[in-house]
């Protein structure tokens, strides 16, 4: 298992196996004043191995500030089947998007922590981002 991609966006959704993004791939959110409530879209693609199909795989998403204080958490479970036409040994991509309401208490650093799987086979991705005052 691997996290193929993970992106921050203004809007993200998966429709019929395709990812649609608006305002994606940023690492700085410009906000005049804090605290401020924002909508944080996260797009994630998890690559599932041949031997990892047909069983639930937990996916956890957490948003933290630079001090490690948890701001919001979400959990999901993906279960990828194995179609009969799939060549033996093939991997499959499962993707999803979610929007989290987050309160940014101050200007500074934050991060989104994504974990797929459990135990020694779990994989992790960290998406750092900043809340900054608008540029002059």
> Could you write out the DSSP letters of every residue in 103-121?
EE-SSEEEEEEEEESSGGG
Instruction: Quote the pLDDT of residue 90.
Output: 97
Instruction: Quote the pLDDT of residue 29.
Output: 96
Q: Give this prediction's pTM.
A: 0.93
CATH architecture of 2-132: Sandwich (2.60)
Distance (Å, whole) CA 16 – CA 39: 24
Q: Any idea where the domains of the chain sit in the sequence?
A: 2-132
Sign of CA dihedral 33, 110, 20, 135: positive
Instruction: Quote the pLDDT of residue 136.
Output: 82
Ranges of residues in the chain whose predicted pLDDT is under 50 = none
């Amino acid at each position: 298992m691997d996290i193929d991609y993970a992106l921050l966006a203004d809007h993200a959704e998966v429709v019929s196996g395709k990812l649609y993004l608006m305002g994606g791939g940023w690492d700085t959110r410009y906000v005049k004043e804090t605290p401020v409530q924002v909508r944080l879209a996260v797009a994630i693609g998890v690559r599932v191995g041949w031997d990892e199909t047909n069983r639930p795989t937990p996916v956890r998403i957490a948003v933290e500030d630079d001090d490690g204080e948890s701001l919001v958490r979400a959990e999901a479970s993906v279960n990828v089947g194995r179609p009969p036409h799939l060549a033996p040994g093939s991997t499959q991509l499962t993707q999803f998007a979610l929007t989290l309401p987050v309160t940014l208490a101050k200007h500074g650093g934050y991060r989104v922590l994504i974990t797929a799987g459990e135990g020694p086979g779990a994989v992790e991705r960290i998406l750092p981002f900043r809340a900054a005052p608008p540029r002059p």
